[in-house]
A = this chain, B = another copy of it.
Amino acid sequence: MLPQRFAKSFWHGWAWMEKRSTIKDVADLAGVSPSTVSVVLNGVDGARVAEDTRRRVTEAAERLGYEAHPLARGLRTRRSQTIGFVSDLVASTPYAGQMIQGAQDAAWRAGMLLLMVNTGRNLDLERHAIRTLLQRQVDGIIYASMFHSITRVPRLSPARPLVLLNGIPAAGMLPNVVPDEIAGGAAATTELLESGHRRIAYVAEWRDIPAVELRLRGYREALERHGAHFDPALVLREEPGAAGGYRGVSSLLDLPEPPTAVFCFTDSMAMGAYRAAAERGVRIPDDFSVVGFDDHPLIASSLAPGLTTVGLPHYEMGEWAVETLLELAEGTTAMTGRPLQMLMPCPLVRRDSVGPPSR
């Protein structure tokens, strides 16, 4: 997984930090001039060096654990073995961190490092971050959003690729990956329909974010496919989180003819749904079924009964973004036929919150 070039010098441990070999050391050992060493190791385009000389220089450099100064090399070759990762709040909030893990893992498989900046939505800082990363010759930039967003991207030098992670471009075309929210919403609803439910509510956030609308579309499509009636009174918009889920599901359960199941926009809202049910002596899943969205590690399996939910494929999205960026940097996407827009499937995760309707 680790390219030879890195691995070699690590075998020498941290010695290189104490005393680094110089280009002169390598030249002496290989019996060539320092400028020949520079030409070979920095891969200067078009320079002609005999294969035998090239081999001697490479071997001498490896033996001495020598590496050309990467800042200097960056200036010449315009390659840095790094990818910039600019995010709004991905690293600082407890929602989509697995995008970072997926991206770093994919980068590392290619011997590359993810250099991240978390801007906290400070636009001055964001511009400065992108600029700094470009100046440091990152091979491209991944622009990541905490939640599925419509993204306005600062204009970039066209020579370096940019991939949107968890965002779709507000204008124009950019390679991007987002969760397949429609299919996810349909999967959640279908799980309830196939358990026999017909009066299924959808409780979402009141924020106008793409996922709310798209999951609603999936919900409606699933109802239609199963010949179930769409009742607008069963679609509620509430504040985000457990408090909103509690309020929404409380009001639904207090209807003269309450729904027998609810699809909650997030696991956090589902947590509130559990509380609303418990307060009324309504048992899950015996009397009422609940499906969430997120498969959040701190919530879904911590609830009792365990919450059936739809996972957000953050890890896979992070991987996809890096793999796509690397192909774009190499210019091979046309050859491989890689799609440049990706709706990542959201897997249904079955636990114990769905059962047949009691009425």
A residues in contact (CB < 8 Å) with B: 2, 6-7, 10, 14, 16-17, 69-72, 74-75, 81-82, 89-95, 97-98, 100-101, 104-105, 108, 113-120, 122, 124-125, 127-129, 131-132, 134-137, 154-157, 241-243, 246, 268, 271-272, 275, 278, 296-299, 301-302, 304
> Contact between B113 and A128 (Cβ–Cβ < 8 Å)?
yes
Known A95-B94, A116-B115: A70·B14 in contact at CB below 8 Å: no
Known A14-B155, A116-B115: A94·B297 in contact at CB below 8 Å: yes
> Contact between A129 and B156 (Cβ–Cβ < 8 Å)?
no
User: With A and B bound together, what is the CA distance between A97 and B183 in angstroms?
Assistant: 30
Nearest CB to that of A72 among chain B residues? B75
> Contact between B69 and A91 (Cβ–Cβ < 8 Å)?
no
User: With A and B bound together, what is the CA distance between A275 and B272 in angstroms?
Assistant: 14
Nearest 6 interchain pairs by C-beta: A94-B94, A242-B302, A91-B91, A92-B97, A116-B116, A92-B101
> Contact between A302 and B101 (Cβ–Cβ < 8 Å)?
no
Known A104-B118, A116-B116, A298-B298: A127·B97 in contact at CB below 8 Å: no
A6 CB contact (under 8 Å) in B104, B128, B154:
B128
User: With A and B bound together, what is the CA distance between A112 and B155 in angstroms?
Assistant: 22
User: With A and B bound together, what is the CA distance between A55 and B75 in angstroms?
Assistant: 29
- For A90, list chain B residues within 8 Å (CB): 91
Shortest distance in angstroms between A245's beta carbon and chain B's nearest beta carbon? 9
Q: How many copies does the complex hold?
A: 2
A17 CB contact (under 8 Å) in B120, B129, B155, B271:
B155
Known A17-B155, A113-B132; 8 more pairs at CB < 8 Å: A10-B124, A14-B154, A92-B104, A93-B97, A94-B97, A94-B297, A104-B119, A115-B115
Known A71-B135, A113-B117, A128-B6: A302·B100 in contact at CB below 8 Å: no
A132 CB contact (under 8 Å) in B70, B119, B132, B242:
B70
- For A241, list chain B residues within 8 Å (CB): 298, 302
> Contact between A132 and B82 (Cβ–Cβ < 8 Å)?
yes
- For A105, list chain B residues within 8 Å (CB): 120
- For A113, list chain B residues within 8 Å (CB): 117, 125, 128-129, 132
User: With A and B bound together, what is the CA distance between A133 and B301 in angstroms?
Assistant: 38
> Contact between A124 and B2 (Cβ–Cβ < 8 Å)?
yes
User: With A and B bound together, what is the CA distance between A69 and B78 in angstroms?
Assistant: 13
User: With A and B bound together, what is the CA distance between A260 and B115 in angstroms?
Assistant: 50
Known A94-B298, A155-B14: A100·B118 in contact at CB below 8 Å: yes
> Contact between A92 and B98 (Cβ–Cβ < 8 Å)?
yes
Shortest distance in angstroms between A30's beta carbon and chain B's nearest beta carbon? 23
- For A278, list chain B residues within 8 Å (CB): 278
